């Protein structure tokens, strides 16, 4: 087959389409290409809304709000003043996993509880994040919050300066319709539907933590006795 034959065959293939269809096809192609470029941009790779939930398993099971408060470094009312992209952490476990923080900065409006080993602060940072492909994720039952969101937060220091993390699902947002309790609402009771009731329950919990009638729920943190052998006997210490 000569080049001329080949060219003629392609021409014949498309020439069966009416001119209007060819133009429409071209428009579709251009729009689709535009979508591809947009889809690969930071707007979708690091979106404003999470597209996935992930699942965690923790070991601290709180039997009362008092235990939740006693296990917290701080119990505060706070409002979100800024949201931005934070540090990226890569793991060397072979998974190729990377985690980029979505840092949520909150101004503290009121502090209800400061544990003995903590100190009061005016501002806290919490975070959600993005997987290595830029897909935003949220922990199950703890949706992302944005600037202006206000609520009550049970937090403790997360080992990174200035940053905190929620203790359990310790977050109650104030909404125009009432309140939005993160996670399993069992600790709060079934009838809490407004801020006044939430605050009342929270104050009772804080009183229990302050008086010592509610205790922190302990947990163990371990490291291998041989840093190069994860099967070596672990050395564990109990924390609260």
Partner 1 sequence: LSTSSLLFRWTIIALCAFAMVGSLPNVAFAAHSGQANSGTPDNAAHYIDRHGLANDTQNLAVNHGIAELNRSYMNATVNGSGDVDIYDDFYGASGEWDSTFGITNCQDWTFLHVHCDVYRVRYNLTYAAGFTTNQWWSLGAHELGHTAGMGHRTAASDSDNNSCMRSAASALRPNFDGHDIDAINDIL
Taking the complex as a whole, the smallest distance from the CB of residue 194 to partner 1 amounts, in Å, to 21
The answer to whether 181 and 192 have CB atoms below 8 angstroms apart is yes
Taking the complex as a whole, the smallest distance from the CB of residue 57 to partner 1 amounts, in Å, to 5
Taking the complex as a whole, the smallest distance from the CB of residue 192 to partner 1 amounts, in Å, to 14
- 109 or 236: CB nearest partner 1: 236
61: left (phi over 0), alpha (psi -120 to 50) or beta: beta
**Beta-ladder partners of 77:** 110, 152
- 54 or 120: CB nearest partner 1: 54
Query: How far apart are the C-alpha atoms of 118 and 60, rounded to whole Å?
Result: 20
The answer to whether 156 and 165 have CB atoms below 8 angstroms apart is yes
Taking the complex as a whole, the smallest distance from the CB of residue 129 to partner 1 amounts, in Å, to 7
- 156 or 199: CB nearest partner 1: 156
- 99 or 111: CB nearest partner 1: 99
**Beta-ladder partners of 156:** 165
The answer to whether 103 and 83 have CB atoms below 8 angstroms apart is yes
The answer to whether 47 and 146 have CB atoms below 8 angstroms apart is no
Q: How far from chain centre, in Å, is Cα 220?
A: 24
Q: What are phi and psi of 48, to 5 degrees?
A: -85, -15
- 32 or 120: CB nearest partner 1: 32
The answer to whether 122 and 140 have CB atoms below 8 angstroms apart is no
Taking the complex as a whole, the smallest distance from the CB of residue 104 to partner 1 amounts, in Å, to 14
Taking the complex as a whole, the smallest distance from the CB of residue 7 to partner 1 amounts, in Å, to 7
Strand order across the beta sheet in which 178-181 lies: 136-139, 123-130, 98-114, 74-90, 150-157, 164-175, 178-181
- 84 or 211: CB nearest partner 1: 84
Taking the complex as a whole, the smallest distance from the CB of residue 220 to partner 1 amounts, in Å, to 5
- 211 or 224: CB nearest partner 1: 224
């Amino acid at each position: 087959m000569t080049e001329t034959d080949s060219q003629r065959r392609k021409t014949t293939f498309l020439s069966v389409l009416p001119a209007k269809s060819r133009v429409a096809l071209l428009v579709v192609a251009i729009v689709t290409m535009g979508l591809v470029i947009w889809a690969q941009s930071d707007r979708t790779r690091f979106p404003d809304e999470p597209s996935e939930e992930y699942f965690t398993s923790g070991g601290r099971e709180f039997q009362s709000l008092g235990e939740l408060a006693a296990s917290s470094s701080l119990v505060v009312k706070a409002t979100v003043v800024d949201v931005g992209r934070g540090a990226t952490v890569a793991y060397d476990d072979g998974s190729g996993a990377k985690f980029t923080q979505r840092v949520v900065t909150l101004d503290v409006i009121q502090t209800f509880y400061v544990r003995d080993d903590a100190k009061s602060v005016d501002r806290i940072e919490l975070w959600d994040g993005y997987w290595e492909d830029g897909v935003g994720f949220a922990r199950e039952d703890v949706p992302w919050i944005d600037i202006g969101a206000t609520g009550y937060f049970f937090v403790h220091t997360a080992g990174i300066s200035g940053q905190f993390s929620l203790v359990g699902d310790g977050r109650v947002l104030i909404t125009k319709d009432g309140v939005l309790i993160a996670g399993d609402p069992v600790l709060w009771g079934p009838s809490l539907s407004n801020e006044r009731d939430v605050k009342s329950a929270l104050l009772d919990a804080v009183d229990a933590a302050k008086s010592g009638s509610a205790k922190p729920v302990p947990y163990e943190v371990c490291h291998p006795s041989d840093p190069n052998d994860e099967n070596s006997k672990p050395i564990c210490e109990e924390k609260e």
